[in-house]
Amino acid sequence: MTASFVRPRPPYYAVIITTRPSADLEGYAAMSERMAELGEAQPGYLGRESLTDEDGRDLVVIYYADEASIAAWKAHPEHLEAQRLGRERWYSSYSVEIARVERAYAFSRD
């Protein structure tokens, strides 16, 4: 899991992305890094967490302040290109879910 962060107070939005890689990952790492940099700079971005399993499947949760911020990021020109390449080359499958978080709580023994 990526470095943890303090989640915002609800309500906020979570974009939940699951991906299964294809055999052709040329250029993927560089694009992924670029998208993370650009995404963090977007208005309304609140943070992200991710996990990768032993088969390379990813689960990423990106937190946003509102739906407008999500829509603006989805329409960003470089992100549109990354989406296109993901469908054409890098992913054998993916899914995206968008949820509004109304309540949140946590426990940590640490």
- Give the pLDDT of residue 68: 98
User: Tokens in use for 39?
Assistant: 């995404």
pTM higher than 0.75, yes or no?
yes
- Give the pLDDT of residue 57: 92
State the DSSP string of 1-34: -PPP-PPPPSSEEEEEEEEEE-S--TTHHHHHHH
- Give the pLDDT of residue 22: 93
Angle (nearest 5°) at CA 109 between 106 and 110: 105
Q: Which residues pair with 37 in a beta bridge?
A: none
Pick out the chain residues at pLDDT < 50.
1-2
Burial class (CB in 10 A: 0-12, 13-18, 19+), 39: middle
